[in-house]
Amino acid sequence: MAKASRRTIVKTVVRLLRDRPEDRSAIVRSLAAYLALHKQTNQLDLFMRDVARELETSEGSVLAEVTSARPRSLRVARSPARTRSRSPRGSKVRP
């Protein structure tokens, strides 16, 4: 099996995630299997960063990990999260 370009793989993963969001785990496992087969597992972070960037560009979604120095209170944990995205399309706040 010939190696595909990272850009092609990323676009395919994003399309599959968009078309079949319920199969997200299987799609990511397939990507991991492809990377293992082609001895590219050290590039997983690059692939996932490119997938996140492509999702942001195509859908206006931003993936973020939030770290806090203090534990969240129960009130904060139960309240709907508000997110602010900074993207080329502007700033959006979603409850």
Q: How far apart are the first and last CA of the chain?
A: 45
Q: How confident is the model over 9-37, as a mean pLDDT?
A: 91
Q: Which residues pair with 84 in a beta bridge?
A: 93
How do the domains of the chain map onto residue ranges?
6-94
Amino acid type, 14: V
Is the whole model's pTM more than 0.85, yes or no?
no
Q: At what angle do helices 44-59 and 6-19 cross, to 10 degrees?
A: 60
Give me the mean pLDDT over the 39-50 stretch.
90
* pLDDT at residue number 89: 52
Q: For residue range 47-92, what is the model confidence (pLDDT) as tens digits?
A: 988 988 888 887 776 666 667 777 766 666 555 555 444 555 555 5
Question: What H or E segment, with its residue span, contains residue 91?
Answer: strand 90-94
Residue type, 31: L
